[in-house]
Amino acid sequence: MRGALTLAALLTFAIAGCGGNDNGVSPASLKSQLLPPSDVPGFKVERYFSWDNPIDFVGQGFPLPESTPPSQAVTVFEDAGFEAGAGEVFVVAKGNTFEGPQASVDVVQLGSDDEARDALDYVGKEALKQPCFAVCSVEGREFAVPGIPGASGVQQTPLQQPPPNAPPPFEAYGVGFTIGPQLFLTSSGGPPGQVKKSQVLSAAKALYERNSKGDASS
């Protein structure tokens, strides 16, 4: 399911890909900036991720449209000064973890404020692309994200009249934003009707408030 969430990207969210880590930022040091389950009502944490290189981040934390070569995204994050990243995947607190909606939260440490904003722009553009290589049953659109300066929101929702040979539709919403040199991504996706944009906006706001105050230990 995580591969279908092109936001992740929105959403959401690392030791330099080919160089050293000079400022002590590590995946472990970023984990406390993720969301506790209490901030994602109705969900439980299924898995945590730690990324010390952009290859693993792109492979596990940043689902791409099928038409985008993964090497392209790796290069983008290398050029943005990727240092470290951490992520988490939430599943519905009750029921089968392989069905229904999922949610994800990522935080990535990049080289500078400008490089983080450049990475956010890239994530947003990829999130708007058709996720399927050929025909698809969903379309991407931007949406406003109130209360988070500079945030980007993208949704993938079912077409009213999908092509007859398109894969089953899904629904996904993602929000991305930056705070200094850090990129934050939060997203959720699943079968149509089981994912609410308001839930993703609420999680994004909680993530922003948690980190914009400089307190990631609560």
176-202, pLDDT tens digit by residue? Answer: 999 999 999 999 998 898 889 999 999
Please give the tally of structural domains in the chain.
1
C-alpha distances in angstroms, 54 versus 2, 42, 81, 166?
17, 31, 9, 32
At 95, is the pLDDT very low, low, confident or very high (cuts 50, 70, 90)? low
Kindly state whether residue 41 falls inside one of the protein's structural domains. yes
Residue 32 lies in a domain: yes
pTM of the model: 0.85
Give the structural domain span for 41: 2-212
pLDDT value for 99: 60
Q: How far, CA to CA in Å, does 155 sit from each of 42, 70, 173?
A: 21, 21, 4
The structure tokens listed for 4 are: 């279908």
Is 168 contained in some domain?
Answer: yes
Q: Write the CATH number for 187.
A: 3.40.1000.70
Is 217 within the bounds of a domain?
A: no
Question: Is there a domain that residue 218 lies in?
Answer: no
In a domain, 47, yes or no: yes
Contact 121, 77 (CB under 8 A): no
Domain presence at residue 117 = yes
Q: Which of 216, 118, 168, 157 is nearest to 7 (CA)?
A: 157
Indicate whether 158 pLDDT > 70: yes
Using alpha carbons, list the distances in angstroms from residue 195 to 88, 156, 202: 18, 11, 13
Q: Render pLDDT for 25-35 as a digit per residue (tens, 0 to 9).
A: 999 999 999 99
Is 182 domain-assigned?
A: yes
Residue 110, helix vs strand vs coil:
coil
